[in-house]
Structure 1
Amino acid sequence: MELYGAKIRAPHALVMTFLFKSGSLQEKIKAILQATFTHSRNLAYFVFTYKGLLATQEKLHGSRWQFHSFLAAMVGGWLVFGDNNHINSQINMYLLSRVLFGLSRLAVEKGYIPEPKHDVFPLFSALVWGFVLWLFEYHRHTLQPSLQSSMTYLYDDSNIWHDIRDFLISNKAKPTK
């Protein structure tokens, strides 16, 4: 579990740290290692908590029920991922998008909503991008900090050009004198 967390977090932390964080190389490496450790540890704690609670409920009831999974995960989520920090926030947001997608598919599968007659993915994409850029342009403070950083780099910093190096190497705004 910790190895899985390291495989997931280390590349992300490496890219985000070198793109958006300032500081010495030593400070950047420390931040990458800390983020990787925290992500890995939290995943390991969650899996241990979830599986332990699942096994306990199954032992108490004599069999496993669907609700056991939900309850064990809720308790594990509260205990492990309930601390509002940037790593837990990213993990929870990552999961939220996939949960909503899965619940939408399940609602169609169970007949709660009708099967779409046409591919709804283009509409889904249009709404996601419409909302995120509207939030970025007019309510930036509501977006998660790493998303703000990425979007600032793409949509604000790219407005300032000095020469071709800005396009090829870095388009960060240079301080005015």
Structure 2
Amino acid sequence: MNVYWQSGLALVLSLLSALLLYLGSPNQQWFKKRYIKFYPALLLSLILLCAAWWLLRSHLSGLSAVFTIFTALMLLLGLLPFTARLSKPSTKGGKSTLVRSKSYAEYQTKWWSRVLGALVLGFPLALFTSSLIGLTYDVSEAADVRAQFIMWMITPLWLMPLCFIFFTHKPWRVFLSLLILSACLYGVLGQVGIGG
């Protein structure tokens, strides 16, 4: 298969993965009810991402394929929620046709706490994850190339929690997951002699 076709198919699979995640989100605004729950959507999304990685892996290094997929996901997950805003809701009989779930009326967004929590808790996770990825990088590669890759990997890893935080009604679960993952990764880095 042509390299361009493989790359295009990988990006389409990444888009489908992001769409599945959005459709499984309790905050999605495309349909009145969710047709797929979050965990099955997450599982299907991960399968699609693995397939996209495998396609990219045929002509990129494994880490470059991961970086490409994370960057595409970061952009797609950041932009998908805004697609509901593209169509202007009409008013029929004085009621808006904007689609929202029943729980939306009682839902308190607290956007500032979500953004700040995801930014603050996502940075150590991104830092520790990129450090672990750096350990798997080919040592025959020049040190400055390896350092640049690790540095640029932080950005999509840091912004992924910022995208995911808007997909849930209970951000404290995401915050707790970020804390636990960061502590685990810090422990792993301490064991291999980088952190700690």
TM-score (norm. length: structure 1): 0.28
- Asked which structure has the greater CA Rg, the reply is 1
Higher helix share: 1
Greater length-normalized contact order (CA 8 Å, ≥ 6 residues apart): 2
